[in-house]
Amino acid sequence: MQRHEGEISTDGSAPRCAIWGTLNVTPDSFSDGGRFQDPTHAMAHARRMADEGADVIDVGGASSRPRGKLYGAGASEVTLADEIGRVVPVVAALGDALSLPISVDTCRAEVARAALDAGASIINDVSMGASEALVALAAERQVDYVLMHTRGQGEVESPNTRYADVALEVRDELLTVVDRAVALGLPRERIVLDPGIGFAKTAAQSLELLGRLDVLVATGHRVLVGPSRKGFIAETASRPDGSRPSPSEREFGTAAAVTAAVLQGAAAVRVHDVAAMRQALLVAQGIFSASGRSARGGVHVD
């Protein structure tokens, strides 16, 4: 990775939360499925996100939406060849066109290896280290590795959602995998933690995690949060008639979640609407900077 999130300055000195722009090159993403599957459309969208202030472009070729009441049957299985075929040409083209770091969002070592060979420099693993081969690849290549918390296949149902203390259990389960990754040769400083908002968590649990993100920040690892357009927003902020806003109508709820993440000390947020979320996070950090306080320390509001 060319630069670490949390080490990017807005005024030459103050660190700010980095923005990861989501680029789904799939036909069935819960939010924008099919819109950017065409490489030409994918490139245009990536350029637009870069122009809007994205610090990293995160490319995914297989939807990870979990089975359950929010997303129905969940994501369809994607063959290895199809996932590589979707991801690698886009990663290669982005590497030629942009100076930004490229992340590959995958659970498969074969896809990650091909993407790294094509120019990616970060692995974003939403399976919480389910593939030892993928973790070992991160160690072999010495690249930044995002470890997202989940249980099962991310289904938002019991037993996955049984937590006595969701923040502490998410932390402890992530750190167990961190230890395994370190044993395989991946330096701790290369590991970024993601609480897995919306994966194996109810809306209430996702909200609690956002409010207690400092539990993860206190581990010393950089923390990336991906709340963008997710179902917990629709459940929390239904319309006056009780219906739920569609993914494209959850921008304001996403901005609230991004603000909470920033104030709790997140080093990066993964979003769809880069320009709007950049504005939200810069204002949030600006308020605390102007008051002589730092949003990076994890601010609590009682």
Structural domain boundaries of the chain? 8-292
Q: Which CB contacts under 8 angstroms, 24+ apart, belong to 76-81?
A: 76/28, 78/26, 80/108, 80/110, 80/111
**Model confidence band, residue 295 (pLDDT cutoffs 50, 70, 90):** low
Tokens standing for residue 119:
């120019």
Nearest-angstrom CA–CA distance, 223 and 269: 9
**Model confidence band, residue 4 (pLDDT cutoffs 50, 70, 90):** very low
Pick from 286, 233, 278, 281: which is nearest to 48 by CA? 278
> Residue 301 is inside which H or E element, if any?
none
165-223 per-position pLDDT tens digit: 999 999 999 999 999 999 999 999 999 999 999 999 999 999 999 999 999 999 999 99
Pick from 133, 223, 240: which is nearest to 184 by CA? 133
> 265's torsion region: left (phi>0), alpha (psi -120 to 50) or beta?
left
Given a cut of 70, whether residue 75 has pLDDT beyond it is no
Nearest-angstrom CA–CA distance, 95 and 89: 10
Q: What is the dihedral of CA 83, 86, 88, 90, to 10 degrees?
A: -150
The predicted pLDDT at position 302 comes to 30
100-114 per-position pLDDT tens digit: 999 999 999 999 999
Tokens standing for residue 171:
């932390």
For domain 8-292, which CATH number applies: 1.20.140.10, 3.20.20.20, 4.10.520.10, 3.30.70.1350?
Answer: 3.20.20.20
Instruction: List, by residue number, the catalytic residues.
Output: 230, 270
Nearest-angstrom CA–CA distance, 107 and 123: 9
SS3 108: coil
229-277 per-position pLDDT tens digit: 999 999 999 999 999 999 999 999 999 999 999 998 999 999 999 999 9
Nearest-angstrom CA–CA distance, 180 and 173: 11
Interior/surface letters 285-302, b for 16+ CB within 10 angstroms, e for the rest: beebbeeeeebbebbeee
